Structure formats: structure tokens, C-alpha cells
């Protein structure tokens, strides 16, 4: 049962672009994690740039050792 939480700066994606992103991510999960459509959930939240430090301080920095992909920046 993969669940993805995505937080990013506002991307101003069109509905078509957003749907394509979610479809692509779902396809990757199905392929690599052997999951079915009904097993996958995705949470997508856009965070304004001025609030990103809160995400970094609360979610990224304290979990750096466990991140599957670490950021190339520090705050």
C-alpha cells in the first residue's frame, strides 16, 4: 500500500499537467512497487516559498538520515 506525500512550491500546473503527473507517478508505483491502482494514494500540497523553511525544519532536516533522496540544499 504505497502512500506518497508530495510537498512543493506552487507549480501552477494545468489540470492536464497535474493529471499526467499523477498518472506517471501511479504508473511508477505500479511498476516498481508491484502495487495495484487501488493500493496507491497520493497527497499533493503546494507550499508557498516563504513557508518552505517550516517544511525543511520539521520534515526534511530531522529525517535526513532516512530520506531515500536527500536535497542538495540546506536552510
Residues annotated as part of the active site: 2
User: Could you say which DSSP state residue 59 is in?
Assistant: I
Spatial distance between the Cα atoms of 52 and 61, rounded to a whole number of angstroms: 12
Q: Which three cell numbers stand for residue 10?
A: 506552487
Spatial distance between the Cα atoms of 66 and 70, rounded to a whole number of angstroms: 9
Amino acid at each position: 500500500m504505497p502512500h506518497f506525500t508530495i510537498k512543493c512550491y506552487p507549480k501552477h500546473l494545468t489540470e492536464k499537467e497535474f493529471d499526467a503527473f499523477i498518472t506517471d507517478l501511479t504508473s511508477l508505483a505500479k511498476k516498481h512497487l508491484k502495487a495495484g491502482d487501488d493500493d496507491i494514494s497520493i497527497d499533493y500540497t503546494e507550499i508557498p516559498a516563504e513557508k518552505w523553511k517550516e517544511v525543511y525544519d520539521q520534515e526534511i532536516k530531522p529525517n535526513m538520515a532516512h530520506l531515500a533522496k536527500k536535497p542538495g540544499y540546506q536552510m
